Amino acid sequence: MLTLAGQYWPFLVIVLIAAIAIFLWARRGKHVSLDAPQAIKPTLSRDATPAETAPEAKPPFFRIEPMAGTPDNLLEIKGLGPRIAMMLNGLGVTRFEQIARLTPDEQRQLDQHLGPFKGRIDQDRWIDQARILASGDRPAFEAEFGKISGGPA
């Protein structure tokens, strides 16, 4: 048997390469693209119609009018990190006063744009913190929320 395999090894290699080529040819066009929209997946429920399984609509565009002057270091607000600060800057929020003056409706709209950080405005009391920071009363802030450690200004 080994002598037979020894004689025909080039033929076996060609057959193996051909089998791999046929396999790859059969799978052509079946790659997954991250930019492609997700295909509709079958469900076990027969009641669901495509209209009922439509994706959630994006929140309406929200932007606050930027304020003149030097932007504040929003990282001084506890619970507000660099990623959230960049998101807020993109929405026009650059000053403590803007956060302190948010109406409940604006707060709700802004919260919709925070993605994975949704709910942090209330949870971390950004409005209360921003009011104290906007007034410039650092000792009062540190008495209620702890030492200010918002990274580089």
Angstrom distance (rounded) from CA 94 to CA 118: 19
Residues 126/79, Cβ–Cβ less than 8 Å: yes
Residue matched to tokens 């913190």: 129
Residues 121/107, Cβ–Cβ less than 8 Å: yes
Q: Give the tens place of pLDDT for each residue, 38-91.
A: 656 666 655 555 555 555 555 556 667 777 888 999 999 998 899 999 988 888
pTM value > 0.75: no
- Rounded average pLDDT over 82-111: 90
For residue 67, give every residue at least 6 positions away whose Cβ sits within 8 Å of its Cβ, in sequence order, or none. Answer: 94, 95, 97, 98
The pLDDT score that the predictor gives to residue 78 is: 92
For residue 126, give every residue at least 6 positions away whose Cβ sits within 8 Å of its Cβ, in sequence order, or none. Answer: 77, 79, 80, 99, 120
- Rounded average pLDDT over 130-144: 92
Query: Is residue 121 packed enough to be buried (19+ CB in 10 Å), middle (13-18) or exposed (0-12)?
Result: buried
Q: What percent of the chain has pLDDT over 70?
A: 72
